[in-house]
Amino acid sequence: MGTIDIPLLVVFIGIFVLVTILGFLSVRWHAGNLNRIQEWGLAGRRFGVLMFWFLLGGDVYTAYTYMAIPALLFSGGALGFYAVPYTMLFYPLFFVFLPRLWTLAKHRGYITAADFVRERFDSPLLALLVAITGLFSTMPYIALQMLGMQVVLAQMGVPVEMALFIAFLILAAYTYISGLRAPAMLAAVKNGMVWIVVILALVIAVPRLGGWGHIFASLPQSHVLLTPAQYGSYASLALGSAFALLLYPHILTGMLSSNSRKVLKRNAFLLPIYNLLLALICLLGYLAFASGIKPTHLSYQTNSILPAFFEQIFPGWFTGFAFAALVIGALVPASIMSIAAANLFTRNIYREYISPSCSEREESRVARFVSLVIKAGALIFISVFPSTLAVNLQLLGGIWILQTLPSVLIGLYTRWFHRWALICGWAVGIIVGTWLVLVQRGQSSAYPLTIGGTTISIYIALIALPINLLVCAILTLILRGLGVAAGRDVLTPADFVDPPFSLSDPKTFLKRNSI
């Protein structure tokens, strides 16, 4: 853009200022002792059905997703729709696994998945590897949220570096002060704004482009239907991404902030409402294609399509509203991700290896500082390196995080796997997954496997994971046969049972059914 649209800028700044004030005021909401990591990093585990619905909706459906998925449909066609079944598959898995983990965390005081692994398998090393995997998988995800903000700011025509730095300072400040309460409150605002923007975009653009019939008629066949060569990629991406999403630290942090198992189970049925929004957002990629619009910033490739499309169909003032929704949509998950990564470092590295006797106040202080460092690192990364590197690292992150599945998800139901077998399986899975990405020079998340003369493209994480599990199984049998100590599981059957509460106790009832 050569000039700045003043109405756009005024509306954008006005909304951003209001949201910033809300972020700082959130420290007073459900006020607790923020010198405890349970309060700062998990909001005291107080969120009820409604607030958890807002929080996880803001956590799962990120601004980068809102821009990358339409961009994929714009450039690559129907394969981009994998995001819809992937998130639909996520919720049944969510219902099966996460309430069980929540119950254990409630009894044992867990803050991270690595806390659980440490006690379940009596292995500080395995817990450290799970924590490091979570950290390295999350950091490029945060960088992608910064990239999403960068794309929007570039479309506005403002000085990108300065504007991104200001956004970073605001994000860092309210996260440092308010912890998880800030993104939870902002998630409610962000979700409402995105619904308004998407519905109005469809209402305005579809008639202008001649209706759905004309829009679909303008699309190449490859944009409407999958080719046979894409079937394997589509199905395996959806399945693998659903399992990987369960394991990301920011999802587990959001899950642990709820006040009961019931909140999680109810949300397993309520959260798919967001998938309707995601499906509509996917269609915006088709609308952009039918409109003949081209990417305005070639350095961001097709990721700039959605902001450019909004600028084309909306008046300036409402484009400012839409851009504010996208930027806030990046701030919310970036906040949660930085908090989750800080929790991992503090609990499973700092407290375990650097200062085992640290107080709760020190633990909270370290977590706050680390969250600042992580956000600063993401900002520097996205400013110095090409955006494609962040995308490629995030691709690796999904493959890496899935290699913790045997320790975390399977570990919830059995500790049959030997702790040393899990460590070796993790290492093999990481090496295989990384190598398969590197041999393709980071150009694809799927690898063509030839089986019986038939070549099928499979999501790399789902190639590495079975190898991981096979190594775990074989080594477990060998190690048990050799009599190698498997460690002591400190969990008891009572730890897996949700503590009952009486309806005659009004305080408990209100606490566990609040918003």
The more confidently predicted of residues 221 and 328 is 328
Question: Binning pLDDT at 50, 70 and 90, where does residue 67 land?
Answer: confident
> Could you give the CA distance from residue 179 to residue 39 in angstroms, rounded to a whole number?
8
Give burial (CB, 10 Å; 0-12/13-18/19+) of 21. exposed
E strand or H helix at 174: helix 160-178
**Tens digit of pLDDT for each residue in 128-180?**
999 999 999 998 888 888 888 888 888 888 888 888 888 888 888 888 888 89
Phi–psi pair at 446, nearest 5 degrees: -115, 150
pLDDT at 513 over 80: no
Give one DSSP letter per residue of 204-263, joined into a string: HHHHHTTHHHHHHHTS-HHHHS--GGGHHHHHHHHHHHHHHHHHSHHHHHHHHTBS-HHH
Contact 325, 152 (CB under 8 A): no
State the average pLDDT over residues 403-409: 97
Residue holding tokens 């659980």? 116
Tallying the residues shown for the chain, one arrives at 515
pLDDT over 70, % of the chain: 95
What does the H/E/C string look like for 275-294? HHHHHHHHHHHHHHHHHCCC
Most confidently predicted of 24-33, 240-249, 291-300, 309-318: 240-249
The more confidently predicted of residues 463 and 3 is 463
Give one DSSP letter per residue of 69-128, joined into a string: HHHHHHHHGGGGGGHHHHHHHHHHHHHHHHHHHHHHHHHHT-SSHHHHHHHHHT-HHHHH
What value, to the nearest 5°, has the Cα angle with vertex 195 and ends 23 and 27? 15
Give burial (CB, 10 Å; 0-12/13-18/19+) of 61. buried
> Could you give the CA distance from residue 430 to residue 402 in angstroms, rounded to a whole number?
9
How high does pLDDT run on average in the chain? 88
Residue 199: per-residue pLDDT: 92
Give one DSSP letter per residue of 279-337, joined into a string: HHHHHHHHHHHHHT---S-GGGGGGGHHHHHHHHHS-HHHHHHHHHHHHHHHHHHHHHH
Question: Binning pLDDT at 50, 70 and 90, where does residue 50 land?
Answer: very high
pLDDT at 1 over 60: no
Residues in contact with 475: Cβ distance below 8 Å, sequence separation at least 6, in sequence order: 418, 420, 421, 424, 425
Question: Binning pLDDT at 50, 70 and 90, where does residue 504 land?
Answer: very low
Within 322-462, strands assigned E span 446-451, 454-459
Contact 226, 234 (CB under 8 A): yes
List the one residue out of 186, 232, 211, 244 whose CA is nearest residue 58.
Answer: 186
pLDDT at 288 over 80: yes
Question: Binning pLDDT at 50, 70 and 90, where does residue 52 land?
Answer: very high
pLDDT at 476 over 50: yes
Residue 506: per-residue pLDDT: 47
State the average pLDDT over residues 343-351: 94
Residue 500: per-residue pLDDT: 52
pLDDT at 389 over 80: no
Residues in contact with 406: Cβ distance below 8 Å, sequence separation at least 6, in sequence order: 417, 422, 425, 426, 468, 469, 472
Ordered domains of the chain (ranges, CATH): 6-20+50-414 (1.20.1730.10)
Token code pair at residue 375: 């956000």
Residue holding tokens 């909004």? 310
What one-letter code names the amino acid at 22?
L
Confidence (pTM): 0.91
pLDDT at 338 over 70: yes
The more confidently predicted of residues 198 and 5 is 198
